Chains A and B, each alone.
Chain A
Amino acid sequence: MNSFWIATIGTSVIAFALKYTGHSVPEKFFAHPKVQAINALIPIALLSALVAVQSFTDKSKLIIDHRLAGLGAALLALILKAPFPVVVISAAIASAAAYKLL
């Protein structure tokens, strides 16, 4: 079994376990405001880190390439309050164009 299968199955099992556990524990268990605060902050940190790593790294090297154009387009689309599909598609178009030109 390769790492892609392990990741697929492992992620799925834990994702469901987390959802089901939530439905089975008493409500007050997670009512603490610090737990709520951390719960809101973790996605911000992880998603931001993923944006950076997926845009500016190649294996373990830092690199600036055509993907910068894609990220710039996505950022612009978000500032202009574009809906999610427009954000992704404009990033893809800008990145593909930069890849062809560079």
Chain B
Amino acid sequence: MRLFSVRGGVHLDYRKDRTRNLGIVPLPMPALLYLPLTQHVGAAAEPVVVAGQVVRKGEVLATAQGAVSAPVHAPTSGRIKEITGHVSPHPSGLSQSTIVLESDGADAWGALPAGIEDPFAATGQEIARRVAEAGVVGLGGAAFPAAVKLNLRAGHTVDTLLINGAECEPYLTCDDRVMREYAGEVVDGARIMAHALGAARIVIAVEKNKPEAIKAIANAARPFATMAVAEVPVRYPMGSAHHLVKVITGRETPAHGRTASVGVLVHNVGTARAIHHAVRFGRPLISRVVTVSGGALKSGHNIEVPLGTLVRELIDFCGGMVAHADQVISGGPMMGHPLPSLEAPVVKGTCGILALTADETNVQPTGPCIRCGSCVEACPSGLVPLQLATLIQHEDIDGAAKLGVEDCISCGSCSYICPSHIPLMHYFDYANGRLRVLDRKRKHQEKLKTLAEARRQRLERQAAARAAAKAKSARPAAPPTASAQAQTQTQAQAQSKPVGNSAAAASVTGAPVTGLPVTTATETGAGP
């Protein structure tokens, strides 16, 4: 298969050997599961169970809210202990609304919706509905509701479905294992998605350092003419959707755009497998494969983890810590984020739990920039990180925006390669955070302006209507009798009395109505 080149990127020390040849093992069901209502991008799910209620495995615990959201299901059978605040797997460590499920040990399935016998006879909407009901989100880490992406068909012509098995982050081997052990399920899930999208071609992209996975997928895909396996170069961030699309199809997604705008949709291999389960068997997303690794742990594993399991239990399963962990990370070491606590739960987007020693994180004091240009060479977005960092250090956020800081995909290649250990990506995240705040403020002000303008127009209309009514009653066309005319006049005066304002009078004299809108603008602080 012909591949296209893409700029930038770095060669990482992959450190995958610890877990890549270990099969996926199931985790013994924990006694308590902590299921946050927000495990996905979009609106929080709304609980439909109450404390004390007994639920069966696969039952809906919380339903999706709005267009971009996902439901939460029970990973096992048991009793709802409580719905309470619990530490979220986010660096802030903020408490998050969480359903606590007490396992009864039976692990008994509840009634599931029947699977679709022949998904290739079903409509795209039907498949997307099933995927939405099963609560499937992107399992590569982004956790974007999968059904929303399947519905993109309405607005775009998608000719290629790209299944992302690049797994370019160090340590992580969960996608590798899923492809090796469940190649058939991945291929079937991909075919179902392609059918739903009307995509003629399916490409499964795998980095060359996973020969077993490539072989397994190629074997499973062989019967299907529309499917191809692409061996992509081992270079981070090959798994970035926009860059993978460029490498496979040569099409470059415009800035701020989606890959769908160039006719390609990208899904993770784990997502394909979850969609296979959801559509064929009506099985919701209640567990996922997580790589648990890192030098601080006694052993590493790929574990099929019920959602809501506490990170502490995974660490215990791997024999605990044998060295001081400098950082405990959720996700990969490049784009993952630090976990605030081992009491945080595994959620749908958790692809790895890494306990890393100081040797592995290799944090060093920051030195001066020597302008070596390594970051420029490494940046896959074509930015000049050292110039951006200088601007941001001087709080010139607008200047950084002009140089394209918003195009940063936070892959961390620049920070990784910098010989002076300058936390470049940190600066860009900071700048983009500031830009988002400014953007929110601007939108808020625009909204206020619109509201003020609407109020001004409304008051103007009211005043005009009143004036018109008064003028009409003041100059009747042909009064039948003198007494009737006098009566009408009295009525008109009576009507105008409670209003009795200068606007009505002014409009009669032809002067412009300006008094009220000015006041309005001043009140809301949105004046010009």
Does chain A bind chain B?
Answer: no
